[in-house]
Chains A and B, each alone.
Chain A
Amino acid sequence: MSAYVTTLTIDGAIVAIVSIIIFALYLVLNSRKDLISKMANAEGYDSEGQFVRDYVAGKPRELGLSIFVNDDAKSLGMRYIVTSLFFFFIAGAFGLTMRLSLTSPNPSLLTPDEYNVLLTEHATLMIYMWAVGSALGFGYYLLPSHLKVFRDIRGVFSSIGYWLWLLGGALILVSHSSVRWYFYPPLSLQLNQNGGGLYAWLSVLGIEILFVGLIITSITILFIILFDRSPEVKRNQFTLFTWSIIFTIIMILVSSPPIMVGFALLFYDYFNPIFFTAASHSVLLFTILFWFWGHPIVYIAIIPYFGLIYEIIPKFTGKQIFSYKSGVIGLGLLLILSELVWGHHLFNSGLGFAWVLFFSTTSFLVVIPSAITIFNYIASLWSAERIRITTPMLFVINGIIDFIIGGVVGVMQSAFPVNADVHGTYVITGHFHFIFLGITTGISFAAFYMLFPTLSGGRKYDVKLARLHFYFTAAGSMLMSSAWLLGGFLGMPRATAGYFPFFQPYQLASIAGGFIIGIGQIFFLWNMGKSWLKAPSVDNQNCLEQVNVISTEMTGGAQ
């Protein structure tokens, strides 16, 4: 227990130092803001916010510290993009540390408790801070251009949403909880090292705050789409990315209220355990509330990226997407059907025949829109005369392949007889890492590379390093996830700090894969550092913000 107090004190000190630095930066930027306000007055504006937003609206924006004080949509977008990247590297380092400890069948580098803490934080931060954060980032950044918004007036709400989301993530990070990303009680109510950790309650509080931020942000983006877009952009002219963000937001708003109530009741239980206890016979109730959100969240982490793929492909094939209509229908059906499958995470908990049958059947149905979407991508690529194989395009092609593998495993584990054999094993881990690394992570990087000339104010990224980044990420995740699938089919349990020695070959293969991915990310960081130091040499436009521009000349700085 005293170890906890020490770590928390150290964390507290780090947080305090970081806060002081941020405050100093804030003071500097604030004095600059005074300057802006003088300029605004000179131009006849009442509010400097409005002045800045008008001044920057629709113009390419560069990455800089000012994005943390300006609250126009593009700044918000960049805030989310850089913050989510930051958390990607933190959570990724946690993942690699876990792998390192698993080199031996008995916990080596980490104690079981440390392993469990990293397990919890890796998953929670990757999902809520990386996958969701980066989707919101591209939403904020691209939508104003795609919808030609005529006013940018919701900065205050957007900013509140962002800071709450960040505060929630930070609280989860410092809570050192070991509740896993499920937060299942009674484990999460067990406030010691045996269970959820001394400060598990702090992570419950953190995630609740994060949700409040997420809801505010979602409503704000929806308002931007509905009320701030240029009247000349009709509904049937929305880009597929816009549709994907609309569907994602509907999904967030529909699926999160039950689990927010669930977390509130869980928090209540810390003071007076009456809701999710053995005596109340309602332990499984929390798991149901959780998965009612837990399945949609994995689609929230995928639909925006499906939308981005639709935007990326035409830029490098020089041709419109195969079918706009199937694109919208596919993503829309994905939204509706994936609200109905959450029970497939609880097949072996005792739901009973009727429920299990219902959820496995709906899980088969959800494959239909996924197949429509994948067909649409492949048909678009197939019918193109010529595909420019740029780094973003490589990420897209790899993402499609990874999604097909992950999706096929998904259907297999939706069959109840198969599920009894794979639930709780590394098969599941393999299933979603194929998708999270191939689509969520790969497409984020693809879009980031395409935005690079704009974000960096007219610089080019180094193509060789970008290729290396791609090949290491793709090959590493293929090795890691395949090894997990194979080991999992033999019964290798996931979420364990140690394992039966006969699983070691599969663990070692996946660890090798994990480290190959890690090396790939070093190429990315190196590339960013190197390219940012060079002088601007290209114009700062990017093609991702341009709508319906498909001529091959208009491919911006993406190579």
Chain B
Amino acid sequence: MSDKKGRNLEIYFMAAVIVILFSSAVMNYVEMSEHPNAVATDAPTPPAGSYVIHVVATQWEWTFIYPNNTTSAGAFSVPVNREITLIVTSMPSEQGPGVIHDLYIPQMDVQVYAVPGQNNSVTFEPTHTGSYYFECVEYCGEYHYEMRGYMEVVAQ
């Protein structure tokens, strides 16, 4: 490979890399604007018409508070084809103080930190009924791995 040929090849290669990166950045921007995730709010104002569930993480359990103020621990259910908003925070329990957790529902593309002293909200819309697993993916102490369960998506 001559010097000049190598230099040209380097330029083409870098140009290709930059084009790929640029298109990824644009796609990233478009996707992000459509699906903002994990937004921190002090006093959350969920979108009107959304089915709002308050989620409280403690060591080591998820508690879900439905719009009608009933609660469920370790598992929850949501209606299908309806916009759902989760407002997530972390609280102390008899096991210990509020620490950072992270609620992750893989099949819904939903991931949001539960931070003590902060409310994070996330919105999604399930389109199929069924049962979906969720888990805590921010290390939160001894029984971190047990903070997992199933979300049931049920017909309205």
Contact A187 B111 (CB under 8 A): no
- Number of A-B residue pairs having CB atoms within 8 Å of each other in the complex: 195
Known: A352-B39, A415-B31. A424 touches B97 (CB 8 A): no
Which of B49-57, B66-74, B76-84, B140-148 has 4 or more CB atoms under 8 Å from chain A?
A: B140-148
Complex Cα distance, B144 from A178, in Å, reads 12
Contact B32 A186 (CB under 8 A): no
Q: Taking CB as reference atom, which chain B residue is nearest A370?
A: B17
Contact A350 B38 (CB under 8 A): yes
Contact B37 A416 (CB under 8 A): yes
Residues of chain A contacted by B104 (CB below 8 angstroms)? 423-425, 491, 493
CB distance from B39 to the nearest CB of A (A): 6
Range, interface on chain B = 35 or more
Contact A368 B116 (CB under 8 A): no
Contact A348 B39 (CB under 8 A): no
Known: A187-B100, A281-B118. A357 touches B141 (CB 8 A): no
Is B154 located at the chain interface by the 8 A CB criterion?
no
Enumerate A185-216 residues with CB–CB distance to B below 8 Å.
Answer: 186-187, 189-190, 192-195
Is B86 located at the chain interface by the 8 A CB criterion?
no
Contact B10 A278 (CB under 8 A): no
Q: Taking CB as reference atom, which chain A residue is nearest B9?
A: A379
Residues of chain A contacted by B25 (CB below 8 angstroms)? 360-361, 364
Interface size on A, residues (CB 8 A): 69
As a 0/1 sequence over residues 100 to 117 of chain B, the CB contacts with chain A under 8 angstroms (1 = contact) are 101010110111110111
Enumerate A339-382 residues with CB–CB distance to B below 8 Å.
Answer: 347-353, 356-357, 360-361, 364-365, 367-368, 371-372, 375, 379, 382
Is A338 located at the chain interface by the 8 A CB criterion?
no
Which of A253-261, A395-403, A452-460, A495-503 has 4 or more CB atoms under 8 Å from chain B?
A: A495-503
Complex Cα distance, B99 from A284, in Å, reads 11
As a 0/1 sequence over residues 43 to 68 of chain B, the CB contacts with chain A under 8 angstroms (1 = contact) are 00000000000000001000000000
Known: A348-B38, A349-B120, A491-B106. A194 touches B14 (CB 8 A): no
Complex Cα distance, B137 from A379, in Å, reads 41
Enumerate A287-314 residues with CB–CB distance to B below 8 Å.
Answer: 287
Complex Cα distance, B143 from A498, in Å, reads 9
Residues of chain A contacted by B107 (CB below 8 angstroms)? 491
Contact B99 A368 (CB under 8 A): no
Most buried by A among B14, B27, B32, B146: B32
Complex Cα distance, B140 from A420, in Å, reads 19
Is A411 located at the chain interface by the 8 A CB criterion?
yes
Contact B6 A491 (CB under 8 A): no
Residues of chain A contacted by B1 (CB below 8 angstroms)? 379, 382-383
Contact B17 A186 (CB under 8 A): no
Contact B111 A423 (CB under 8 A): yes
Contact A496 B24 (CB under 8 A): no
Complex Cα distance, B102 from A284, in Å, reads 13
Of the candidates A112, A420, A497, the one whose C-beta lies within 8 Å of that of B110 is A420
Of the candidates A182, A189, A349, A421, the one whose C-beta lies within 8 Å of that of B109 is A421
Most buried by B among A357, A490, A496: A496
Q: Taking CB as reference atom, which chain A residue is nearest B29?
A: A357
Contact A360 B39 (CB under 8 A): no
Of the candidates B28, B37, B95, B148, the one whose C-beta lies within 8 Å of that of A348 is B37
Enumerate B1-16 residues with CB–CB distance to A below 8 Å.
Answer: 1, 6-7, 9-10, 13-14
Q: Taking CB as reference atom, which chain A residue is nearest B132?
A: A491
Residues of chain B contacted by A282 (CB below 8 angstroms)? 117
CB distance from B31 to the nearest CB of A (A): 4
Contact B97 A283 (CB under 8 A): no
Of the candidates B28, B38, B136, B142, the one whose C-beta lies within 8 Å of that of A194 is B142
Is A326 located at the chain interface by the 8 A CB criterion?
yes
Known: A357-B29, A357-B32, A491-B106. A379 touches B6 (CB 8 A): yes
Residues of chain B contacted by A180 (CB below 8 angstroms)? 139
Most buried by A among B24, B92, B99, B139: B139
Is B138 located at the chain interface by the 8 A CB criterion?
yes
Complex Cα distance, B26 from A360, in Å, reads 11
Residues of chain B contacted by A248 (CB below 8 angstroms)? none
Known: A367-B17, A368-B17. A116 touches B142 (CB 8 A): yes
Of the candidates B27, B99, B143, the one whose C-beta lies within 8 Å of that of A112 is B143
Contact A423 B137 (CB under 8 A): yes
Q: Taking CB as reference atom, which chain B residue is nearest A424?
A: B137
Q: Taking CB as reference atom, which chain B residue is nearest A428?
A: B137
Contact B136 A493 (CB under 8 A): yes
Is B130 located at the chain interface by the 8 A CB criterion?
no
Most buried by B among A364, A420, A425: A420
CB distance from B22 to the nearest CB of A (A): 8
Contact A420 B37 (CB under 8 A): yes
Contact B21 A365 (CB under 8 A): yes
Is A533 located at the chain interface by the 8 A CB criterion?
no
Contact B144 A496 (CB under 8 A): yes
Known: A189-B97, A424-B102. A415 touches B24 (CB 8 A): yes
Complex Cα distance, B95 from A323, in Å, reads 59
Q: Taking CB as reference atom, which chain B residue is nearest A412?
A: B24
Of the candidates B96, B118, B137, the one whose C-beta lies within 8 Å of that of A283 is B118
CB distance from B152 to the nearest CB of A (A): 16
Residues of chain A contacted by B99 (CB below 8 angstroms)? 184, 186-187, 190, 195
Add 9 more A-B contacts to A278-B117, A349-B38, A424-B111 (CB < 8 A): A116-B141, A187-B139, A193-B142, A194-B141, A282-B117, A349-B113, A356-B32, A493-B136, A495-B139
Q: Can you list 23 A-B contacts with CB-CB less than 8 angstroms, sorted by A residue number?
A: A184-B100, A190-B96, A193-B142, A194-B141, A195-B59, A278-B117, A281-B117, A348-B113, A350-B39, A357-B28, A360-B25, A361-B25, A364-B21, A367-B21, A379-B6, A379-B10, A415-B28, A417-B35, A420-B38, A423-B104, A423-B111, A425-B106, A493-B136
